Structure 1
């Protein structure tokens, strides 16, 4: 009796397994087709940006989170592999502050800038170099190639003292364009720290945003991308859904006058407008923790951040 019941059950189970396998195969094919379609849609952008220089500014916050950092660096490696020439500029404020506190020093800020005496500068230089090496190592581990451009060995950013009250804080005045382009054209991702050097060879702590803008302007890059803690310029800072997808200089000035753009975002967008006026084609402000934020912003029409363009773009 048991054998008579068992045979139909076995046949039914086999049919269920066959149907399940067919559904699984169909799902896998649909997913493969979707991925292929994504690549096809990216083709116009790949053609447009082939061999284009792209500066990416990575703040200190994303560096603190290994999963976020690796996702961003994987996107950066992908950009280089498909023909773009990315240049990475990084910060390190949080790490520097921790190192100072560990050394018994209290971080002091004036007008949003870190006051940097000789003792502080020694810590800044050491910590920034450590972060620079770490970023290069992670890029290598993720299948890319990179070179860290830390002074004094690599003097790619020259500067002058920004404000005597701040101490050893630099304002970028020139970049070594030839060296950066040479490395990028060889398939290496230049990794540039937030440091500049004056005409006497004195090392200075320098804001990473300022470095990124100077590098982007000096290279006349196609794109400059700020990987930020916010998803772009928002009409309501507390509501990500109020993101403004695209802005021109006139729109930025109007929003500043209306009080929509306020606080620390004002000098950032004003610096961005100056960079656009000096030849940078487009500037993007994107949330670093968004999955594949870099790729979505560059390779889609809508993007996921705020794009700043010149009036004529």
Structure 2
């Protein structure tokens, strides 16, 4: 390898130092989903990013959903999927599949991906340690949970031993009944409960646009008040509303800042957190 390439690498690493210092010993919650979860190369790049952050002393928490995997399993078992206001109506047979897929196949698969790269990870769901306490959101949705409380003890314990907690979006009520929860909401509430330095929401879009058809109209930074204003003006609309709401929820619950980034860009997490490039939209108080 030539001297120029080596010098360039050294330059990149030294440029990252101030950013690494900003996040060392701080919590970073990553909400993982979309195409970055299904494309093997993108998945590998995400796991490498998380591992690097973990190795430089960042307290990384990975929160995931698994909608496509759940749909596929329900189809195989010939259980029909119905949605209401973007949420899966979850009866008991559906919940059994959700728990099996999310807390089982998807969760342990992600743990294995991190371990394969030489990292240490532990798979958890909200039932473990009574971590995510919920009540029924409404009767029409069945076993879909509204979060009452997050106990972060188990997350903190796992991190203190050098592991990355990989958390699937399942909660439990006071009677020990398991509930399906929206993974964006889980990430937001966990980030708030940990008073995280940052939450990163990985999506299939670049961030908030002034004009959704113009990629150059990306808004790099929004305060909570500005985001609410853009919702009123209809600039934040449709499928962006729940994504932005979760970001605002995380800030209002105690996270310092939240990024929406495009998970289809390789190493998007490192580019956003450890360089001055900035890819997506950052939300601040």
TM-score, normalization: structure 2? Answer: 0.96
Task: Give the Cα separation in 2 of the matches to 1:230 and 1:61.
Answer: 10
Kindly name which structure, 1 or 2, has the bigger radius of gyration based on alpha carbons: 1
Q: Would you say 1:287 and 2:262 are equivalent positions?
A: yes
Q: Give the match for residue 275 of structure 2.
A: 300
Tell me, what secondary structure is at the counterpart of 1:149?
Answer: strand
Partner of 1:276: 251
Contact 1:249 1:273 in 2 (8 A): yes
Aligned pair in 2 of structure 1 residues 60, 160: CA closer, same or farther (>3 Å)?
A: farther
Q: Helix, strand or coil: the match of 2:130?
A: coil
The equivalent residue for 2:195 is 220
Pick from 24, 42, 50: which aligns with 2:24? 50
Q: Is the 8 A contact 2:127 2:171 kept in 1?
A: no
CA distance in 2, matches of 1:61, 1:167: 28
Q: Note the C-alpha offset of 1:241.
A: 2.4
Equivalent in 160, 182, 203 of residue 157 of structure 2: 182
Q: 1:60: how far off?
A: 4.5
- Which one of 54, 77, 81 corresponds to residue 55 of structure 2? 81
Report deviation, 1:215: 0.4
Q: Deviations over 1:66-111 (max 9, x none)?
A: 1111110110000000110100000100110111111112210001
Deviation, structure 1 residue 299:
1.2
CA contact (8 A) 1:60 1:90 kept: no
Structure 1 regions of 5+ residues with no counterpart?
Answer: 1-24
Task: Describe how 1:218-257 pairs up with structure 2 within 5 A.
Answer: 218-257=193-232
Corresponding position of 2:101: 127
Shift of 1:194: 1.2
Q: How does 1:145-160 map to 2 (within 5 A)?
A: 145-150=120-125, 152-160=127-135
Shift of 1:153: 4.4
Contact 2:46–2:269 (CA under 8 A) maintained in structure 1: yes
Alignment of 1:202 with 2:180, yes or no, is: no
1:260 aligns with 2:235: yes
State the aligned residue count.
284
Structure 2 residue aligned with 1:63: 37
Structure 1 position 243, deviation (Å): 1.4
Q: Which runs of 5+ in 2 are unaligned?
A: none
CA distance in 1, matches of 2:160, 2:259: 23
Aligned to 1:95: 69
Larger RCO, structure (CA 8 Å, separation 6 or more): 2
